[in-house]
């Protein structure tokens, strides 16, 4: 028995937000082991020599996630974003998933639940082979919604990351959190039907019992998806998104610097 902490993806994962655009995203898409990867180079002179693995939500490699990856890169990280949906994100099926009666989210999720893990495992092997031998390189990871459990996996003894963060996770079980063996930061809205207070408390209990380093940021007045899909017309939601981003980067910087 593996109790669920964060429930499967649902309609709340598909709320739309801003229409930000990354600068020439097509030029940053590369194949890594046959898997499309968004590669955002660090901005000099901020380059810190570290690599951030980006595990996206159900929207996959899209404009809003491109922008988020570029923001991390601007602070010095080489950012690698994986397309573990292999071009089949929800946006391939509909531009308006919440109000499209022809789109079956449950069927789409079941199709990709195991497949995305297999693709991510292959991708991590390729990433490690290409970048892991670089002297002094350290890996961090960040995941949103669908990507949350991948952060747990990369912070386990079998992962390659030294620190990680997630926001509003889904499809996350107790076994994912039990395996965490490196510092983890979690950002969540106070009201989230997928990651309820009881389950949040259980996640913290597991991390505490395992004597792991962790922090959890709970933000009121925002919904599931706030960290990636806030709307610029909502200043409070925008501030919450920026707060999570700032917390993540400070968490990465602190723990990676401890390894110098």
Strands 139-144 vs 51-55: parallel, antiparallel or unpaired: parallel
DSSP letter (8 states) at residue 108: H
Cis peptide leading into 45, omega within 30 of 0? yes
In the sheet that holds 214-219, the strands lie side by side as 29-32, 35-40, 78-82, 51-55, 139-144, 163-167, 184-189, 214-219
Q: Which two tokens stand for residue 52?
A: 């951030």
Nearest-5° angle of CA 171, CA 94, CA 10? 25
Q: Is 141 a catalytic residue?
A: no
Q: Is 93 a catalytic residue?
A: no
Map residue 201 onto helix, strand or coil: helix
The single residue of 13, 145, 152, 161 carrying the catalytic annotation is 145
Compute the distance between CA of residue 229 and CA of residue 12 in angstroms, rounded to an integer: 11
Q: Is 161 a catalytic residue?
A: no
Q: Which two tokens stand for residue 219?
A: 């933000």
Nearest-5° angle of CA 62, CA 66, CA 70? 180
Torsional sign, CA 202, 208, 214, 215: positive
The single residue of 112, 168, 176, 224 carrying the catalytic annotation is 224
CA-to-CA separations, 162 to 46, 67, 138, 166, 237, in angstroms, rounded: 20, 24, 7, 14, 30
Q: Which residues are catalytic?
A: 145, 192, 224
């Amino acid at each position: 028995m593996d109790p669920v902490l964060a429930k499967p993806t649902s309609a709340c994962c598909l709320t739309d937000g801003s229409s930000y655009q990354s600068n020439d995203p097509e030029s940053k898409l590369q194949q890594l082991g046959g898997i499309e990867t968004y590669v955002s180079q660090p901005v000099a002179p901020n380059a810190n020599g570290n690599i951030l693995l980006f595990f996206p939500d159900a929207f996959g490699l899209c404009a809003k996630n491109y922008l988020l990856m570029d923001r991390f890169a601007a602070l010095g990280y080489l950012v690698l974003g994986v397309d573990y949906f292999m071009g089949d994100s929800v946006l391939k099926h509909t531009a308006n998933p919440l109000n499209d009666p022809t789109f079956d989210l449950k069927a789409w999720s079941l199709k990709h639940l195991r497949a995305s893990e297999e693709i991510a495992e292959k991708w991590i092997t390729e990433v490690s082979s290409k970048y892991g031998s670089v002297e002094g390189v350290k890996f961090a990871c960040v995941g949103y919604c669908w990507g949350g459990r991948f952060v747990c996996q990369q912070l386990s003894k079998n992962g390659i990351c030294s620190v990680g963060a997630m926001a509003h996770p889904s499809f996350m079980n107790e076994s994912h959190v039990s395996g965490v063996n490196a510092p983890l930061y979690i950002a969540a809205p106070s009201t989230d039907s997928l990651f309820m207070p009881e389950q949040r408390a259980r996640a913290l209990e597991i991390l505490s019992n395992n004597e792991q380093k962790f922090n959890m940021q709970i933000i009121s007045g925002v919904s599931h998806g706030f960290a990636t899909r806030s709307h610029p017309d909502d200043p409070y939601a925008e501030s919450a998104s920026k707060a999570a981003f700032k917390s993540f980067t400070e968490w990465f910087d602190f723990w990676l610097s401890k390894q110098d």
